[in-house]
Amino acid sequence: MWSKNPIPARFPEDRPLDWDVGLWWVLHVKPNCEKMTAAYLLNRNIGYYFPLYEKRTRVGYFRRIRTTVVPLFRGYLCFALEKERHNLLYDSKKLVRIIKVDDQEGFVNELNAVAKAVETGDELFVRPGVVPGKKVYIASGPLEGTEGVVVGGRTKQLALSVQMFNQSVLVKLDPFTKVEAL
């Protein structure tokens, strides 16, 4: 059976993101070249994290829902590789620049929170910039253990910010989720 997306979001798939602390870099790629670059990294056995989600849009006269798998952070991939081996990336022709991650542990914590949000299967929204506000801790529900900022009026959303990309991922909060202020 054919898969919608043959490129895994994480390679190696069974390895937690925490195992590569100290090796993470951000790869800025040309527009619409994220999946090709992930396939390039996969073929060279370079560990990476490339969050994907199903985007639902209404199309046509009858407003049918079309689902496509798209990158969560357009133009960026995270990869784990020693600096001495970065020369493996330069024949890709899709590379714009390599960005150093200074706060490795904070970056991995932000990526783990985003990975939990993607696993929920809920509809996600990406918003430019880091959402300001008071940090909260999610004590129950599918996002248990994550930290973020609660935004919204009637329907509450949790904003998970990733500082390296200067973007935030918004995910709907269940009304019965227990939220604790930090």
What is the model's pLDDT at position 5? 60
3-class DSSP state of 170: strand
Domain annotation covers residue 116: no
Average pLDDT on 138-143 reads 90
User: What span, in angstroms and rounded, lies between the C-alpha atoms of 159 and 148?
Assistant: 5
Average pLDDT on 111-127 reads 91
End-to-end CA distance of the chain: 46
Domain boundary among 101, 132, 162: 101
Q: Which residues span the domain enclosing 127?
A: 122-182
Instruction: Check whether residue 77 and residue 18 sit in a common domain.
Output: yes
Average pLDDT on 103-115 reads 95
Average pLDDT on 159-163 reads 93
Average pLDDT on 6-23 reads 90
Q: Classify burial at 76, counting beta carbons within 10 Å of its beta carbon; exposed 0-12, middle 13-18, buried 19 or more.
A: buried
Residue 86: how many other CB atoms lie within 10 Å: 15
* Domain CATH number, residue 59: 3.30.70
Helix spans in the chain (H)? 34-43, 104-120
Task: Record the tokens describing residue 5, joined without a space.
Answer: 């997306």
What is the model's pLDDT at position 2? 40
What is the model's pLDDT at position 122? 85
Cα–Cα distances (Å) from 148 to 44, 52, 159, in that order, read 35, 20, 5
Instruction: Check whether residue 96 and residue 159 sit in a common domain.
Output: no
User: Using one digit for the tens of pLDDT, what is the confidence trace for 33-70?
Assistant: 999 999 999 999 999 999 998 888 899 888 899 988 89
Q: What share of residues in the chain are helix, strand, coil (percent, to 5)?
A: 20, 35, 40
56, containing H or E segment: strand 52-59
What is the model's pLDDT at position 139? 92
Domain count, the chain: 2
Label residue 103 by pLDDT band (50, 70, 90).
very high
DSSP string, 76-126: EEEEE--GGGGGGGTTSS-EEEEEE-S-HHHHHHHHHHHHHHHHH---EEE
Instruction: Check whether residue 94 and residue 4 sit in a common domain.
Output: yes
The residues pairing with 99 across neighbouring beta strands, listed in sequence order, are 26
What is the model's pLDDT at position 7? 87
Where do we find the tokens 């490129």?
Answer: 7
**The pLDDT of residue 113 is above 90:** yes
Domain annotation covers residue 55: yes
